[in-house]
Chain A
């Protein structure tokens, strides 16, 4: 089952914060987060492997709530370079991922 991301799109001014959610109707064992610029390959951001795990990468961090079957990506004090489409991917066995439909983030000066 494809995870559901929300919101589908968000527009921010530089320096503002954003939260992107990834929810699944099935139990989550791990969540991957990627960012894709238009016409380019997705770039890996982070993996969360355990329920309750939180990770940070510069001003981008994420949490994983196993009970709620949800992961959230937090972007703090956004920069222009954060613009792109963010995808979550959930593990479904045999090293396969199923990706959400993406959240398009636009950062304006």
Chain B
């Protein structure tokens, strides 16, 4: 079955530490996205990529970094510069324009 796999499901970060969240898709989608969701809030765009080796900042990119070396993979690194990283992180992908976004099951990140 095609889908998006995020790992790990839960992640704990120590102060000053960088952590990387994995996102893999086998839907053959070109576009991929990272969102942050805080309790009781909507989804805010962190980074997005429309094609391999290219990505753009979203609305809240500060303290985060991404790479897109393969079509299937779009990892997100939460750096030590992100002072309030505790949130639910969702990865999504989509195919052609005006198609729905498919979401992974999310990673819940907390500070130790």
Contact = CB atoms under 8 A, between A and B. Distances in A.
A105 B18 CA distance: 37
B50 A42 contact: no
Interface residues of B, number: 26
A96 B48 contact: yes
Interface residues of A, number: 23
A87 B90 CA distance: 14
Contact of B42 (A43, A94, A101): A101
Interface in B48-100: 48, 50, 56, 58, 88, 90, 94, 97-100
A44 B102 CA distance: 7
A95 B42 contact: no
B45 A47 contact: no
A2 B42 CA distance: 10
B46 to A, nearest CB: 12
Contacts of B88: 39
Contacts of A43: 103
Interface in A34-71: 39-44, 47, 49
B59 to A, nearest CB: 8
Contact of A32 (B33, B90, B101, B106): B101
B41 interface: yes
A89 B101 CA distance: 10
Interface string A89-101: 1010011111111
A94 B100 contact: no
Contact of A42 (B40, B45, B56, B103): B103
16 contacts: A32-B101, A41-B105, A41-B106, A42-B103, A44-B102, A89-B43, A94-B50, A95-B31, A95-B48, A95-B50, A95-B97, A97-B45, A99-B44, A101-B41, A101-B42, A102-B40
Sort A-B residue pairs by CB-CB distance and give the 4 closest, nearest first: A41-B103, A44-B100, A99-B42, A99-B43
